[in-house]
Amino acid sequence: MRPVVISVAITGSVPRKADTPAVPVTPAEQIESTHEAYEVGASLVHIHVRNPDESSSSDPDLFAQVQEGIRKHCPDMIVQFSTGGRGRDPDARGSALYLMPDMASLSTGSVNFPNIVFENPPALVRSLAGDMQRHGIKPEIEVFDLSMIHATRSLIDEGLLDGTPHMQFVFGIKNALPAERPILELLVAEAKRVLGDFTWTAAAIGRHQAEVAKWAVDMGGHVRTGLEDNIRISRTELASSNAELVEIAARTIVDQGQKVATVSEARTLLGLPQGASR
Ligand code: ZN
């Protein structure tokens, strides 16, 4: 049985309490929601923080509070900060990296989102990659388009990325890649051709979440779930928590004859040191 890593994206920048009361917004809510998700099999948490009015924030104090709480309650869990997200000042997107989470997301190119351009100009990508490298943070490369695989190769060639790259293939965002299995197959094949060794996770928005998780398990990848990407468990029913979505992902993994990775296995698979906190 292959251990499959479950990442949980607990909050994101889009869902509000008005959309679902289950989305954790304050640091205390985020810590509790992460702990519940950890207990049922999530080994990696992807974190955005929010201002009191629920808008996207880059405030390092909020990231610090969440990270501290998670390290206390889920001591070895892999902590990943988002450097993306809608509505953040580009210059502040890396401002919490000095807190040295295990990982941080890194988009290597720009893409259209439903109503905006998610802008990642080359200079910003290099500046964020350099900051991660300096702080010993492993990037998770967010791939919204084929060219982002090639941009990853450039970062490796420029000496800005160390070790085996970890890629996140993202589907189902309007105006970006649709959730179609041939596209995932193409991205995985192209990443293999261009990068050689790499690990990968796939994520999809809304109703595509469960289906893309199945493809990822089937194709040798890892799984991302969580309220950032999807707030429902059916067309009419809201998910009650991040943990409920993690349980669904865990069932998908087991139903396909694989096993949910422990945190220790996840750390090995992603080339991260064992144990937590630094
Ligand atoms: Zn995110």
Q: Which residues contact 250 (CB under 8 A, 6 or more apart)?
A: 6, 40, 41, 260
C-alpha 111 to ligand 1 mean position (Å): 15
Band of residue 170 on the pLDDT scale cut at 50, 70, 90: very high
Q: What is the pLDDT of residues 39-77, one digit of tens each?
A: 999 999 999 999 999 999 999 999 999 999 999 999 999
User: How many other CB atoms are found less than 10 A from the CB of residue 86?
Assistant: 15
C-alpha 158 to ligand 1 mean position (Å): 26
- Give, as residue ranges, everything with CB less than 5 Å from ion ligand 1: 82
C-alpha 49 to ligand 1 mean position (Å): 10
C-alpha 11 to ligand 1 mean position (Å): 8
The pLDDT value recorded for residue 185 is 98
Band of residue 88 on the pLDDT scale cut at 50, 70, 90: confident
Q: What is the mean pLDDT of residues 140-149?
A: 98
Q: What is the pLDDT of residues 118-140, one digit of tens each?
A: 999 999 999 999 999 999 999 99
The pLDDT value recorded for residue 87 is 78
C-alpha 258 to ligand 1 mean position (Å): 26
The pLDDT value recorded for residue 278 is 57
Identify the three-state secondary structure at position 104.
Answer: strand
C-alpha 163 to ligand 1 mean position (Å): 23
The Cα 34–Cα 202 span in angstroms is: 20
Q: What percent of the chain has a predicted confidence (pLDDT) above 90? A: 96
Asked whether the predicted pLDDT for residue 277 surpasses 60, the reply is no
C-alpha 108 to ligand 1 mean position (Å): 14
| Predicted model pTM | 0.97
C-alpha 168 to ligand 1 mean position (Å): 11
The pLDDT value recorded for residue 85 is 76
The pLDDT value recorded for residue 86 is 79
Asked whether the predicted pLDDT for residue 275 surpasses 90, the reply is no
C-alpha 229 to ligand 1 mean position (Å): 8
C-alpha 209 to ligand 1 mean position (Å): 14
**DSSP string of 42-72, one letter each residue:** --EEEE-EE-TTS-EE--HHHHHHHHHHHHH
The Cα 145–Cα 121 span in angstroms is: 14
C-alpha 78 to ligand 1 mean position (Å): 15
C-alpha 181 to ligand 1 mean position (Å): 22
Q: What is the mean pLDDT of residues 239-254?
A: 98
C-alpha 94 to ligand 1 mean position (Å): 14
For strand 103-107 and strand 138-143, is the pairing parallel, antiparallel, or unpaired?
parallel
Q: What is the pLDDT of residues 184-241, one digit of tens each?
A: 999 999 999 999 999 999 999 999 999 999 999 999 999 999 999 999 999 999 999 9
Asked whether the predicted pLDDT for residue 276 surpasses 70, the reply is no
C-alpha 219 to ligand 1 mean position (Å): 23
For strand 78-81 and strand 103-107, is the pairing parallel, antiparallel, or unpaired?
parallel
